[in-house]
Amino acid sequence: MSLTKKSDQQDVQKVDRVELTPASRVVECENAYTLTVELPGVSEKEIELTLENRVLSITAENTLEVFKDYTLVLHELPEARYRAAFDLPDHVDTAGIKAATKNGLLVLTLPKREEVKPRRIAVKAG
């Protein structure tokens, strides 16, 4: 049996992260929705995307540099934990969701199901 002293646990440095909702926007196209989430300073490894009961959840943590031998004189960027959740409408084909990162943006493509996509119906001469 081992007992852990309180002081031992404190050796693990914990960063107090600020919980933030990231800025995001949705654009609807003919075949898909594009969901863009701003995650500055977040590498793709630090992004967790989960889909459960048609709720798409995003959790991400940013990494800020600590400059050695420098003093922080203006502090506006928080060590952040970004959290956001989106209810996906029924006509989104969840199996076809794609995610990519670019310039600190997480870009999700949410394709629509085949049956709700606009389509042309050919008219045949009788």
Which of 31, 43, 50, 94 touches another protein (CB under 8 A)? 43
* Phi, psi for 97 (deg, rounded to 5): -65, 135
Dist. CA 33–CA 16, nearest whole Å: 34
- For 43, the 3-state DSSP assignment is coil
Which stretch in 8-16, 87-95, 97-105, 118-126 sits in contact with another protein by CB under 8 A? 97-105
Binder of another protein out of 65, 87, 90, 115 (CB under 8 A): 65
Residue 19 in contact with another protein, rule: CB under 8 A: no
CB hemisphere CA count around 69 (13 angstroms): 0
Residue selected from 81, 83, 88, 101 as contacting another protein according to rule CB under 8 A: 101
Smallest gap from residue 45 Cβ to another protein (A): 10
**C-beta atoms surrounding 123 within 10 Å:** 6
Question: Applying CB under 8 A, does 58 fall inside the site for another protein?
Answer: no
Measured from the Cβ of residue 43, the count of other Cβ atoms closer than 10 Å reads 13
Stretch of residues binding another protein (CB under 8 A), selected from 9-17, 35-43, 84-92, 111-119:
35-43
User: Going by DSSP bridges, is the β-strand pair 98-102/24-28 parallel, antiparallel, or unpaired?
Assistant: unpaired
Q: Can you tell me which of 18, 29, 51, 77 binds another protein, judged by CB under 8 A?
A: 77
Q: Which residues pair with 105 in a beta bridge?
A: 38, 102
Interaction site with another protein (CB under 8 A): 23, 25, 27, 36, 38-43, 62, 64-65, 67, 69-77, 101, 103-105
